[in-house]
């Protein structure tokens, strides 16, 4: 009992001290506005319904448009329709990892309280999109290349990306101390970020079987507009779906932590 009173006295002394506190940098203050779990839940609760509706509408429109109404390719015929799933999945695989790297940097530099949690919840979603990219790529490559897999620079770098996702997911859960796990995971994410430009420019740096980028120039893309339009719609649909999945996972984890905290509060008798 005396120890508990002493702890509370120290806390009151720390919170009522008259020593000046150095102000946080402006970027940190702006980021920490959204660090409060209650405020994040309120904001995400408003964003989630429209984001989920857009994900559903755009994804359904894009897949129906691409599979049934878009023209087939004169060389690849109907096999090219795999593109409407494969390419957006590839975009989200790389973008999801960049989101992980940004979250890890926010945690290491600004100590943002929700950055580590966001990274933990983004990881499985990004891994699923990377797996979808690899699977659909194999399905597309089999009739075009005559094989399900080749150790092509683009394919190999995306496979490494998938292993980075899995490594991060395993690493953050490999320690009894959650802080050590997230710190080790953040270092892995930042080191693995060098793989993103390798994925992007692998078709330019090496002579590969994988075709070069078809939308490198928005003014004159190397793809017919009738095929480009449903592809972009699918890309937006997958992006909104990615955001929907991450928001749901974040909300669920924050609520689960609140429940665990309330139970510990009851058991401790405070």
146: alpha, beta or left, given left = phi > 0 and alpha = psi -120 to 50? left
Closest to 95 in 3D by CA, of 87, 85, 84, 83: 87
**pLDDT, position 212:** 65
The pLDDT of 187-215, averaged and rounded, is 79
- pLDDT, one tens digit per residue, over 133-155 is 999 999 988 888 888 888 888 88
Q: What are phi and psi of 147, to 5 degrees?
A: -155, 155
- pLDDT, one tens digit per residue, over 70-122 is 888 777 787 889 999 999 999 999 999 999 999 888 888 887 778 888 888 99
> Which residues have a Cβ under 8 Å from the Cβ of 66 and sit 6 or more positions away?
81, 83, 84, 227, 230, 231, 234
**pLDDT, position 57:** 97
pLDDT over 80 at 38, yes or no: no
How many CB atoms are located within 10 Å of the residue 156 CB?
Answer: 16
- Intra-chain end-to-end CA distance of the chain, in Å: 12
pTM for this one?
Answer: 0.80
Tokens of 48: 């989630």
77: alpha, beta or left, given left = phi > 0 and alpha = psi -120 to 50? left
pLDDT over 90 at 7, yes or no: no
Please check whether residue 114 is in contact with residue 106, taking contact to mean a CB–CB distance below 8 angstroms.
Answer: no
- Comparing 14-23, 78-87, 185-194, 205-214, the range with the smallest average pLDDT is 14-23
Domain ranges within the chain, ordered by starting residue: 49-215+224-268
**pLDDT, position 216:** 57
The pLDDT of 52-67, averaged and rounded, is 95
> Which residues have a Cβ under 8 Å from the Cβ of 55 and sit 6 or more positions away?
237, 238, 240, 241, 243, 244
- pLDDT, one tens digit per residue, over 259-269 is 877 777 777 76
**pLDDT, position 24:** 42
* 45: confidence class by pLDDT, cuts 50, 70, 90: confident
Buried b (16+ CB within 10 A) or exposed e, 17-33: eeeeeeeeeeebeebee
**pLDDT, position 125:** 96
Tokens of 137: 């790529």
For the chain, the average pLDDT equals 80
For residues 174 and 206, which has the higher predicted lDDT (pLDDT)? 174
- pLDDT, one tens digit per residue, over 211-252 is 666 665 555 556 778 888 999 999 999 999 999 999 999 998
**pLDDT, position 18:** 38
How many CB atoms are located within 10 Å of the residue 146 CB?
Answer: 8
* 12: confidence class by pLDDT, cuts 50, 70, 90: very low
**pLDDT, position 14:** 39
CA gyration radius for the chain? 23
Buried b (16+ CB within 10 A) or exposed e, 227-246: bbebbebbbbbbbbbbbbbb
Please check whether residue 239 is in contact with residue 92, taking contact to mean a CB–CB distance below 8 angstroms.
Answer: yes
- Cα separation of 96 and 239, whole Å? 10
**pLDDT, position 43:** 85
Tokens of 220: 């004159």
């Amino acid at each position: 009992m005396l120890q508990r009173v002493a702890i509370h006295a120290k806390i009151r002394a720390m919170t009522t001290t008259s020593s000046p506190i150095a102000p946080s940098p402006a970027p940190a203050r702006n980021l920490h506005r959204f660090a409060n779990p209650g405020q994040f839940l309120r904001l995400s609760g408003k964003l989630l319904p429209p984001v989920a509706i857009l994900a559903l509408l755009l994804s359904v429109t894009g897949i129906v448009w691409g599979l049934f109404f878009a023209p087939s390719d004169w060389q690849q015929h109907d096999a090219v329709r795999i593109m409407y799933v494969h390419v957006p999945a590839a975009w989200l695989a790389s973008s999801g990892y960049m989101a992980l790297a940004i979250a890890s940097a926010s945690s290491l530099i600004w100590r943002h309280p929700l950055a580590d949690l966001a990274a933990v919840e983004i990881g499985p979603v990004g891994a699923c999109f990377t797996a979808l990219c690899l699977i659909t790529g194999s399905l597309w490559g089999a009739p075009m290349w005559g094989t399900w897999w080749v150790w092509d620079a683009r394919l190999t770098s995306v496979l490494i990306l998938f292993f980075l996702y899995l490594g991060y997911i395993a690493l953050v859960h490999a320690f009894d101390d959650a802080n050590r796990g997230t710190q080790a995971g953040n270092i892995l994410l930042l080191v693995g970020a060098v793989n993103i430009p390798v994925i992007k420019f692998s078709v330019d740096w090496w002579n590969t079987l994988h075709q070069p980028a078809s939308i490198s120039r928005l003014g004159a893309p190397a793809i017919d507009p009738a095929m480009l339009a449903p592809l972009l719609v699918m890309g937006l649909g997958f992006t909104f779906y990615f955001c929907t999945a991450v928001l749901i996972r974040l909300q669920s984890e924050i609520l689960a932590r609140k429940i665990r905290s309330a139970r510990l509060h009851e058991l401790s008798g405070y």
